[in-house]
Amino acid sequence: MQRLLVLFIALLLASCAGQNRGQGPRDLGARSSETPAASTNRGPASRSVGRGGQSRYGPIADYLIVDKSERLLVAYENGKPIRAYRGLQFGDAPKGHKRFQGDERTPEGIYRIDWRNPQSRFHLSLRISYPNDNDRAFASQYGRSPGGDIFIHGQPNQLVSGRMRGDWTDGCIALSNDEIEELWRIVPDGTPIEIRP
């Protein structure tokens, strides 16, 4: 019952968002043809997600959408939502696209999950391929660094239980530890991620 409710909410949000912001996973024909980055760290998730898109844990996500204003992450497989996570936590300045190192913002646009770190100082982390060429060019105009190392991750390792309060990252996207464990299992490296305002 809970899964049906989550899927219904995700479908409703995806269809509403699609009217104004593109069609999400159905826009995949416009994706870059770049080859997904190979992971330099073949941790547990890399072994659980096979090349053929099969996982001993169930479905495999092939597209992620993060809606910053809704604090919602939806994982899709073949255009259908398979998981939804609410209550995302961002940096101290959650509104607006990341422009410079240290601005505490989360990027907006289409990127990829390009690496994973099981030894992160946060509970697991999936790196987002920010900055891209446009991000670097914009920051360069101002003689600044665009920053980098933006991840989807869990809570700080030193936190015994629960979640940190409010927005506390440096521009990353934080989930609960249980949520990042699930996402880690179903998201292979190279998966596109669309981050909406």
- pLDDT tens, residue by residue, 80-125: 999 999 999 999 888 889 999 999 999 999 999 999 999 999 999 9
Q: Is the pLDDT of residue 59 over 70?
A: yes
Q: 197 preceded by cis ω (within 30°)? A: no
Rounded to whole angstroms, what are the CA distances from 179 to 16, 125, 126, 143, 192? Answer: 24, 11, 12, 38, 19
Domain boundaries, the chain: 2-196
Fold of 2-196: L,D-transpeptidase catalytic domain-like (2.40.440)
Tell me the H-state helices in the chain. Answer: 2-21, 44-48, 133-141, 177-186
pTM over 0.75: no
Whole-number CA gyration radius for the chain? 16
Q: What is the pLDDT of residue 10?
A: 44
Q: Which of 195, 170, 175 is nearest to 105 (CA)?
A: 170
pLDDT: which is higher, 59 or 32: 59
Both structure tokens of 186 = 């179903």
Q: Is the pLDDT of residue 35 over 50?
A: no
